[in-house]
Amino acid sequence: MRFLLPHERWVVGWMLAKQRTRKNAAVVDMEQKYGPRGMVWMDAYFANLLFVPIPAVASVIPVMADQTRTSRIALYLLAVALLFLTLGVVRVLQASHAGRRFRRERQ
C-alpha cells in the first residue's frame, strides 16, 4: 500500500481488517466486482470521502463570523474539500480500472 496517502493507508488497513473478519454479501459482491486491488482503491475512496464534509462545513463558520476578513479562510477550506473530493474521484476511477482488469484476468 505504498501508493496511498497516509490517511488513506490507515483507513484502508482498518477497513480491510474489518472486511476480512466480517464477510457479508456487500463485501463478497465488491470482491467479485473489483478484486483485491480494486478493494484497496475503493476503500481509499471511502477514506477520502470521510474528509470532504469536515472542511466544507468548517468553511461556513468563518463566513458567518465576519464575511469581509475570513472569506479567504473559507475559500481555502473549500479548496481542501474539493481536493479530497477530487482524490476520491480518482480513487473510484482506479478501482473501476482495477476491477475491469481483475474480471478480464479471471475469464
Per-residue pLDDT of the chain (107 residues; tens, 9 = 90+): 678 989 899 999 999 999 889 888 988 888 888 998 999 999 999 999 988 999 988 888 887 777 777 778 888 888 999 999 999 999 999 999 999 999 999 87
All structural domains of the chain with their residue ranges: 6-106
Q: What is the pLDDT of residue 40?
A: 93
The three-state secondary structure class of 2 is: coil
Give the model confidence (pLDDT) of 37-51 as tens digits: 999 999 999 999 988
Supply 74's cell numbers: 473559507
Tell me the longest C-alpha to C-alpha distance in the chain. 60
d(CA 46, CA 30): 13
Residue whose C-alpha is closest to residue 42's, from 7, 92, 97, 87? 92
CB 34 within 8 A of CB 83: no
Give the model confidence (pLDDT) of 16-26 as tens digits: 999 889 888 98
Whole-prediction pTM: 0.82
For 85, what's the count of Cα atoms within 13 Å in the CB-facing half-sphere? 11
22-29 contacts at long range (C-beta below 8 A, 24 or more positions apart)? none
Supply 58's cell numbers: 468548517
